[in-house]
A and B are shown apart, each in its own frame.
Chain A
Amino acid sequence: METLMSILIGVLFTIGVYLILERKLLRIILGSAIISHATHLLIITMGGLKKGDAPLLALGKTSYADPLPQALILTAIVINFAITAFLLVLAYRAHGELGSDDMESLKDIEHE
């Protein structure tokens, strides 16, 4: 299972990097979102994939899943949500202001 997940994570990273290297802004944003998903999957995989109960030792649970990676991912997802939302708003504003979503055409803007 871990091997399969690793391959999946690798594929996601590849797609994300490919998209980030594109010229259109929207694809770049999608690429960064996909890379962040790949990273989240990596964290959960690195924590060990296993079935089990919540880690409540007082109730006599012996087989339990590691809760820490899940907490880490939750935090990371929230942060990435904020960044992606900000990037989308920024892209919208930039498209209105600069009149293009092609990164190549933004090269020769100078200070006013």
Chain B
Amino acid sequence: MNNLVVLPLLIPMLGGLITAIFRKNIIFRRLLSLLAIVLTGAASLLLAAQASRDGVQLLEMGGWPAPFGIVFVADMFSALLLVTSSLVAMACLLFAFRSIGEHRERFYFYPLFLFLIAGVNGAFLTGDLFNLFVCFEVILLASYVLLSLGGTKIQLRETIKYVVFNAVSSMLFLVAVAYLYAVFGTLNMAHLAQLVAEAGQSGFISVIAVLLLIVFSLKSALFLFFWLPGAYGAPPVAVAALFAALLTKVGVYAILRTFTLIFYHQPGLTHDLMAVLAALTMLLAGLGAVSGKDIRSILSYNVIIGVGFIIAGLAVFTLDSVIGSIYYLMHDMLMKALLFLLGGVIIIIVGHGRLQEISGLIRNHPLTGWLFFITALALTGLPPWSGFPGKVLIIRQALAGGAEHGGYFWLAGIALLSSLMVLYSLLRIFINGFWGETVLPRAMEKGSAKGLLYPCLILTLAGALLGIGAELFYPYIALAGNGLMNPDIYLQAVLGEVI
């Protein structure tokens, strides 16, 4: 029992409730939101330290032991994601202070922001499948309102599509939950894992697993990403960055968790399906990114490529490739937030996102330009930036063959090709937007970039630290990967008192 485990959920939730009451005082709301995020980050760091020192941390809600009550579990994997998401949230919040506008601030931007963080942290921590559904819904409801807040035409249209499609996919999630309950009579993830391991993963259970995979693919934009470019292009920059960094990654987390803990007995079916989905995702989204004409749509397609790459690591399914996936997941959260914030700075300066009409920004905005260049290199996976360790681990394992096969050569090839597409699409923004003649004099700029680059610098530094200090972080990430590949550690921690 460790009451610390609930804090990353509780602090933003309370912060959100309190900021919702004080509607008039914007300065107070800003300070309180920042305080809540900082405290969440501190609790997450403490949790990570405990998880690395003493193993998996557990909280049984109301004192009910594992299969009967709801448990919160913080293993190394969850703790690492908590720390990363707190960092991303802080950067997006600082960016929002300067850019979101007083109108949105008055209409409950900060409470919704904090509720979204509470939902994300809850999803990372919970050890119960139905509770995971509830956390998804907390995230989604907050995101619906954040997406439509402001009420511009394009926001309204995209929110309608986003809500309807998410409502349906959530129902599919519930259908899968109902089937699992019918088969096993439990929804505790550790208990499910134990029962599936005992009974063997028969065809019927695999069908449920694939249904869950479809649901999480919808949420994380793995292959079923038709909704993402529109939805992420509509809201203000700070919101889009938060969505890009956290929302899809919660779906990715759910895939990583369920398919290493519960449904890992038939990798020939489920994980091969993931390999195909990941390859198609990288190819199709790569084409989308390369052919984009608008900064927003190019960046959105880049989010999808990242998701494909992480799942490719899981599909190969060896210890090193899963470690690579975790590495890449953390890197992707940081860098996608950074990418969206920097793209947002360009859009704020120029006033629109049409690539053809932007040129020569580097003369007046050198720092933005070079940060964007570094981000592009990091996302491509060039050493020493943070994308490199993850990519090298995944691709080396894919070439070495993975757990089941003679080789995942095609997957490795497509992954490398998609990296090239990322580089091309981002350098196109860089070359088009920053090189060339300066057509936009300082006096004509639509908005000011003043103060917007501090959060970007924080994320760049964090990314550089993750890349250059890869050796430093490796033990923790290896511990997380080890925990994923050996479900017994998780089972022992959660069900230890009962078995």
Task: Tell whether B401 is near chain A: CB-to-CB under 8 Å.
Answer: no
Given contacts A35-B168, A75-B134, are A90 and B159 in contact (CB under 8 A)?
A: yes
Which chain B residues lie closer than 8 Å to A111 at the CB level? 154, 233, 296, 352-353
Q: From residue A5, how far is it (CB to closest CB) to chain B in Å?
A: 12
**B182 and A25 contacting across the interface, CB-CB below 8 Å:** no
Interface size on B, residues (CB 8 A): 34
Q: Cα distance A98–B158 when bound, in Å? A: 12
**A20 and B168 contacting across the interface, CB-CB below 8 Å:** yes
**B157 and A87 contacting across the interface, CB-CB below 8 Å:** no
**A68 and B168 contacting across the interface, CB-CB below 8 Å:** no
Tell which of B22-30, B173-181, B247-255, B260-268 binds the partner: B173-181
Task: Tell whether B167 is near chain A: CB-to-CB under 8 Å.
Answer: yes
One digit per residue, 1 when the CB lies within 8 angstroms of any chain B CB and 0 when it does not, for chain A 85-112 equals 0110011011001100001001001111
**A109 and B153 contacting across the interface, CB-CB below 8 Å:** yes
**A39 and B178 contacting across the interface, CB-CB below 8 Å:** yes
- Please name the residue on chain A nearest to B182 by beta carbon: A46
**B156 and A87 contacting across the interface, CB-CB below 8 Å:** no
Task: Tell whether B227 is near chain A: CB-to-CB under 8 Å.
Answer: no
Task: Tell whether B403 is near chain A: CB-to-CB under 8 Å.
Answer: no
* Interface-centre pick from A28, A35, A90 (highest chain B CB count, 10 A): A90
One digit per residue, 1 when the CB lies within 8 angstroms of any chain A CB and 0 when it does not, for chain B 180-210 equals 0110000100000000000000000000000
One digit per residue, 1 when the CB lies within 8 angstroms of any chain B CB and 0 when it does not, for chain A 21-44 equals 000010011001001101100110
Task: Tell whether B461 is near chain A: CB-to-CB under 8 Å.
Answer: no
Which chain B residues lie closer than 8 Å to A79 at the CB level? 134, 137, 141, 170
Q: From residue B165, how far is it (CB to closest CB) to chain A in Å?
A: 9
**B153 and A98 contacting across the interface, CB-CB below 8 Å:** yes
Give the contacting residue for B174; candidates A20, A32, A43, A91; CB below 8 A. Answer: A43
Which chain A residues lie closer than 8 Å to B141 at the CB level? 79, 82-83, 86
Task: Tell whether B145 is near chain A: CB-to-CB under 8 Å.
Answer: yes
Q: From residue B153, how far is it (CB to closest CB) to chain A in Å?
A: 5
**A68 and B174 contacting across the interface, CB-CB below 8 Å:** no
Q: Cα distance A97–B187 when bound, in Å? A: 43
**B182 and A47 contacting across the interface, CB-CB below 8 Å:** yes
Q: From residue B293, how far is it (CB to closest CB) to chain A in Å?
A: 12
One digit per residue, 1 when the CB lies within 8 angstroms of any chain A CB and 0 when it does not, for chain B 385-409 equals 0000000000000000000000000
Q: From residue B297, how far is it (CB to closest CB) to chain A in Å?
A: 11
Interface size on A, residues (CB 8 A): 38
Which chain B residues lie closer than 8 Å to A76 at the CB level? 133, 174
Give the contacting residue for A112; candidates B133, B148, B152, B164; CB below 8 A. Answer: B152
Q: From residue B204, how far is it (CB to closest CB) to chain A in Å?
A: 13
Q: Cα distance A73–B159 when bound, in Å? A: 26
Which chain B residues lie closer than 8 Å to A93 at the CB level? 148, 151, 156
- Please name the residue on chain B nearest to A95 by beta carbon: B156
Which chain A residues lie closer than 8 Å to B175 at the CB level? 39, 42
**B156 and A86 contacting across the interface, CB-CB below 8 Å:** no
Give the contacting residue for A97; candidates B137, B153, B170, B179; CB below 8 A. Answer: B153
Which chain B residues lie closer than 8 Å to A94 at the CB level? 156-157, 160
**A83 and B163 contacting across the interface, CB-CB below 8 Å:** yes
Q: Cα distance A98–B148 when bound, in Å? A: 14
Task: Tell whether B130 is near chain A: CB-to-CB under 8 Å.
Answer: yes
**A86 and B153 contacting across the interface, CB-CB below 8 Å:** no
**B171 and A36 contacting across the interface, CB-CB below 8 Å:** yes
Q: From residue B354, how far is it (CB to closest CB) to chain A in Å?
A: 9
Task: Tell whether B144 is near chain A: CB-to-CB under 8 Å.
Answer: yes
Q: From residue B116, how far is it (CB to closest CB) to chain A in Å?
A: 15
Q: Cα distance A98–B174 when bound, in Å? A: 33
Task: Tell whether A72 is near chain B: CB-to-CB under 8 Å.
Answer: yes
**B160 and A69 contacting across the interface, CB-CB below 8 Å:** no
* Interface-centre pick from B167, B177, B187 (highest chain A CB count, 10 A): B167
Q: Cα distance A86–B137 when bound, in Å? A: 13
16 additional contacts (CB under 8 A) given A36-B171, A47-B181, A93-B156: A35-B167, A47-B178, A72-B177, A83-B137, A86-B144, A87-B167, A90-B148, A93-B148, A94-B157, A97-B151, A97-B153, A98-B156, A109-B153, A109-B154, A109-B157, A111-B233
- Chain B residues at the A interface, C-beta cutoff of 8 Å: 130, 133-134, 137, 141, 144-145, 148, 151-154, 156-157, 159-160, 163-164, 167-168, 170-171, 174-175, 177-179, 181-182, 187, 233, 296, 352-353
The 8 closest A-B CB pairs, nearest first, are A46-B182, A46-B178, A43-B178, A94-B156, A39-B171, A32-B167, A39-B174, A79-B137
- Chain A residues at the B interface, C-beta cutoff of 8 Å: 20, 25, 28-29, 32, 35-36, 38-39, 42-43, 45-48, 68-69, 72, 75-76, 79-80, 82-83, 86-87, 90-91, 93-94, 97-98, 103, 106, 109-112
- 12 intermolecular pairs with C-beta atoms under 8 Å apart: A25-B160, A43-B178, A68-B181, A79-B141, A83-B141, A83-B144, A87-B164, A90-B148, A103-B160, A109-B153, A111-B353, A112-B153
